[in-house]
Amino acid sequence: MSTEHPKAYYTAVFLQVSFKAIKHSMAGKVSDGLPCWLDGKMLAMLGRELKECRDQAADNNAAHQALSRASLECERLLSHCPGGLDTSLCHRHLDAILTALQCAVPALAGPPAAPATSLWQSAREHLREGWKRLT
């Protein structure tokens, strides 16, 4: 994996592609009016990935909020699966998840944050800079 983007970015892209695939292939047509029969185990797994991704993005407020919205919508969808929603409501939940992921992916697209320096590392660097000026 490239260090060009943080791990959460790649996870969010994976989740976006996964939920798009669910919407376009498994959720049925919006106009059906039939019960939506999604795989609850698969949704639970994607929900866990959403929560993990949200936790990884804790230092990025915009991404964290978007991933929190996606996670909440996934939980709402999962609470009705399988067969508890008609296809239009199922699509509405999936659209909300995808909208949140569309906000999160660009927010995560930047380079990973540099690790925070400890007090000792800062002091060491400060002393080195001072020593270089003296010599």
Helices (H), 33-115: 40-56, 61-80, 87-108
Closest CA to 47 of 7, 15, 14: 15
Residue 16 scores a pLDDT above 70: yes
Q: What is the pLDDT of residue 1?
A: 47
- Does some domain include residue 124? yes
- Does some domain include residue 26? yes
Q: Domain count of the chain?
A: 1
- Does some domain include residue 126? yes
Report d(CA 66, CA 117) in Å as an integer: 28
pTM equals 0.74
| Measured torsion, CA atoms of residues 56, 122, 2, 94, in degrees rounded to the nearest 10 | 20
Residue written as token pair 């927010």: 107
- Does some domain include residue 42? yes
Q: How confident is the model at residue 26 (pLDDT cuts 50, 70, 90)?
A: low
Residue written as token pair 């400890």: 118
Give me the domain span that covers residue 52: 7-134
For 62-109, write each residue's pLDDT tens digit.
999 999 999 999 999 888 777 667 778 888 889 999 999 999 999 998
Closest CA to 15 of 67, 81, 62: 67
- Does some domain include residue 1? no
Single-letter amino acid code for the residue at 86: D
